[in-house]
A and B are shown apart, each in its own frame.
Chain A
């Protein structure tokens, strides 16, 4: 297990390095400069600022010095907020994003599992059709459309929840719902398919032949076996939530990293873009690592042994 973990962490770092490299050069290809919107600055003033931030050097030198500094824990200073280091900026903004992201993940996946399981158990009835419609809607309605609809109906018309801004649990509900729709739909669809398969399998027939009630068969045999493959979609769902948060945080004016990321790209805030890219990559890779480990724990067929697997 330790050997497996060490191997996985090595690959994680290698992947991260590749992501940093590609993002760095792609970012430099973006049109404009950090000072594009500062029309009042004279050429000599710009030159001074460029020199100050090392932007006058060739791109490959900038890249090397970025990697060198990053390896020493220095991710630079934000261009937008000149006195804030990127680490501090991200640290102060990651909380709301994590909260909404995790809430959306938990709500979406739990509701999705429930809906999918009900659909499978009541296969080919009106219940099944309803759950299928829910998951199709969830997949096809973009989160920004859903966000605006939620704001209008639940926030503006019914006044149940605040429309936007950040300040306590009530403020998290609408963005959580907007973000949860897609993981809900995806996991419901996946769960239904898996469970229909499992319910038609021989070992479910054997469980019935043991004289177990339908509820017990589902609880003891069908659920666990249908849930295991669901772990593999958690990674892709996490990606969906991360990208979704960039839009949703903007719509709800949430001071999170998603909103910051969009702002940084629009203003060519290079150090912040790089810092956030690293944060997103690490989050995703950690999610994937954790799901792989969990998969090994819950499915006896793929227990991780030594390093042979």
Chain B
């Protein structure tokens, strides 16, 4: 398979990544190289093979529904690009 420029643009939009037309073209070529490599997977019949997401096939641990974290809002917001009165500031979304 190979990706068209239009598909590259669509994926970039989904991923919130801006590509200039020149970058998109260079990216298209590289992505198609990578998908050429990945394509080898399709030659293998995997019918009936259970997908493996964790080597020990671990079941997610549950914990009690209680507060375990201490409030460190100031420390965490100290590294934010813009924060004020305990809030993260972003451009206005709703008029």
Q: Do A and B bind each other?
A: no
Binding site for B on A (CB under 8 A): none
